[in-house]
Structure 1
């Protein structure tokens, strides 16, 4: 934390200089206003004009400012180093002592002659330096209490920056995890589709060109159009439709599929989630079975709620009817929709039923 506090002092940056200037200006105005409202007219300071009071406050505030930046730029870096605590404390004590001497000297030799008043008999620098009681009683408390707002502000800024860095780290971690998960899905899909097109070209089928057209759309979408965290549900529907058409070409008469899509085009969803579910359905419901494969896909997205239900026949002898695809989907849902999704899987006889509910944006 000490290093972070030091990092926030960047006197070479214009934006940082402005923030520091604004902070000390607010402190100055607040203190001046407080003195003007609470002091009594018959008090010693009550005899000064507003300009003189501002000048007095400026002299005292200068000592506070020097102390704050001395601690942040010199003392805190020492505290962050190993075996430097003793040196840091010693330098802080000596530094604040010298600042107190400098503050009193500037008032005795600068401020009071400017005001035309001299309440304290003129002292030499030697007398000022070794008048410890005056320095401790009249200068040190003001420097300490005046520094409190500065360090409170820095602690608040430090806490805010920690939270921002934590949120960014979580976001980067989530993005990296999602990238890995997506990379597990896309090669499998691409491999299956290229195998299908290869078979069609061997058969000299005119469907090969249609398959390439569908595949080019899907690749264009997955590579260039779905890099955002969320995309429109309409785009995901187009992706699913192209994928289903590809699989219809591939399996031809062996596939019986029913689709029912009803959704609000304004909704957004995490990209490729639905594709992963549907791809898994084709993999275990058609690819790994023989004979006629029966599939059903129902999608309803209204009132910011999405319900996807898929049904497919599957081979009961298959050891894993779920596969990496749905495990992948579950991990993505936990990252993108924590506490806002529910997925159930049910197997009845040779029917695999999946229901996915999500709260949409």
Structure 2
């Protein structure tokens, strides 16, 4: 049986983590003994220990760059790889991707695969910092045998940036567990538990309350929406360093009773199902996992036209797109959909039809395993 180790930086609630844990859970156990290494904290630590056959804590694996901790983490990973003699390591996220690939090369691991869930750099950071991240990715490219991206746009951009080549990479859309999304839900009860008044309309956003997700743009747009549709609530699912700042913004706009900060939740599918509209105001995204889940349950989405998002959100076909940071455009789209329930239904159904074909968790894992088997065969020959 082949020993595969997945390495990810942290076990916080996030798209990269959900993708990794679904992969680990669905691996074919008749072929693979599946291990996981990560920093030993985060809301999904217990879930991780349940799905992996063996879990290894890498205590010095941290975000962001920390030279001393990173060197110690690299040594920890090399020791683990030499001791356990894995056939394959599969790294996820930028920090674990760089350290894991270097450790794999130094430890002589036969097959090294890396998944790009989104880039660690973006246009809203200082140029020197962006260039540093690009440099680190370039010098690490020869340490990986094969690369997986979760959107074709990410793949094309990475090839242009010389992170890898077209012939040693593939796009595999991030699989989602449909069973979790399709379980029966009493929508009236969920609304009642959250405290949404009867017959009010609901806009839902799911994501960390941080600079990347930029929820303050959505709050500003929602304040405009309320002048047309006062019987509407905005549910913000997620937590982060901007929470107090956002609560102050809501207070300042005098819309405290209409914006619900729900924090991190384990019942996201249920909350998505009570939404009339799903909205995001992110500045950068790999693809947007919560957005994909909203589409999978047939919800219309209003999201920025950034990075991989337009690959699946086709404007006026499977959702509505707006220019990042354009609060007026975002507000206009939200008002339009609140005004036109038949258009919400049409976009939601189209979104569901498209995403059900592309984001099957079982199909994702089969594709990943085909990559492993092909690479191992090439090493033998």
Q: TM-score, normalised by structure 1?
A: 0.22
TM-score when scaled to structure 2? Answer: 0.21
Bigger Rg, which one:
1
Instruction: Tell me: higher relative CO, structure 1 or 2? Use CA pairs within 8 A at least 6 residues apart.
Output: 2
Q: Between Structure 1 and Structure 2, which shows a larger proportion of helix residues?
A: 1
